[in-house]
Amino acid sequence: RKYVAGGRGKSTARLEGKVAIITGANTGIGKETARDLARRGKWPPAPAGHPCAKVIIACRDIAKAEAAASEIQAETGNQQVIVKRLDLADTKSIREFAEKFLADEKELHILINNAGVMLCPFSKTADGFEMHLGVNHLGHFLLTFLLLERLKQCAPARIVNVSSLAHHGGRIRFHDLHGEKSYNRGLAYCHSKLANVLFTRELARRLQGKKVTVNALHPGSVYSELVRHSFVMTWLWKMFSFFLKTPWEGAQTSVYCAVAEELDSVTGQYFSDCQPAYVSPRGRDDETAKKLWSVSCELLGIQWD
């Protein structure tokens, strides 16, 4: 069990006065990441100058998100755990979320692109993107684009992209990005996780000198709801749960990338078990990263230079 649990972050960094957004934080590792960040403040909060961290839970399922927020508030004493609706499968929802957030909040220090889908039968987002690519990559690509100026204004700031070891099996199929010619839901997930790594690499290059870092990570094999679209995987996950990380264990690298002091100036890297990990050759292909960036902007109808 200790081996399966993997590395654990040791940072005691406090987040008084900081604002963090975590997508998909109503369950699994996202919820555990929100719980950890929410408790990183002074208790009780000082009357002035040392407020607790504000953690925004950005989710599609508001009922689950409210339940998660209430649980975290009760456990940590932090009442600034806020729920905002965000559907990463709909660019209209993403734009509405960003517009409302920027109107309500003047600061943003940590953006954790955590939400994801896995092993979905062939389907498309509201905008016609293949579901894995649309949610796991394009949705977070657009969200980051819309919030980046606020992160720059509040620098030093961090962006954390939850990818996966599965990126090793991925390939950016520019001739069939949306799986209309051939589709395999396992490979579609791998492709989207490779896109996360390439996005991290290219964004880090573009943000050099801006005091906004961006890193990607593999959380490990975690016992969570991510495999819900596959009956076989759900059954296997239950059968072999002893050999899987708990959501708390899976959240350790996300938290590490978000708060560890030694990563203040580290950017464009990929982590697993709270330490640097090997990136596949395709994940280190700068030309593919630049082309994916350009194609992503075109699909989303944005200019991001």
Q: Catalytic residues, which ones?
A: 189
Q: Which residues have CB under 8 Å from 230's CB, separation 6+?
A: 118, 119, 185
Residue 184's CB is within 10 A of a number of other CB atoms, namely: 11
Burial class (CB in 10 A: 0-12, 13-18, 19+), 74: exposed
Written as six digits, the tokens of 156 are 């030093």
Instruction: Enumerate the H helices of the chain as residue ranges.
Output: 2-5, 28-38, 62-76, 91-104, 131-132, 140-153, 185-206, 231-239, 247-250, 252-259, 286-300
Residues 66/83, Cβ–Cβ less than 8 Å: yes
Helices 140-153 & 286-300, crossing angle to 10 degrees?
Answer: 100
Residues 216/196, Cβ–Cβ less than 8 Å: yes
Question: Which DSSP letter does residue 12 get?
Answer: -
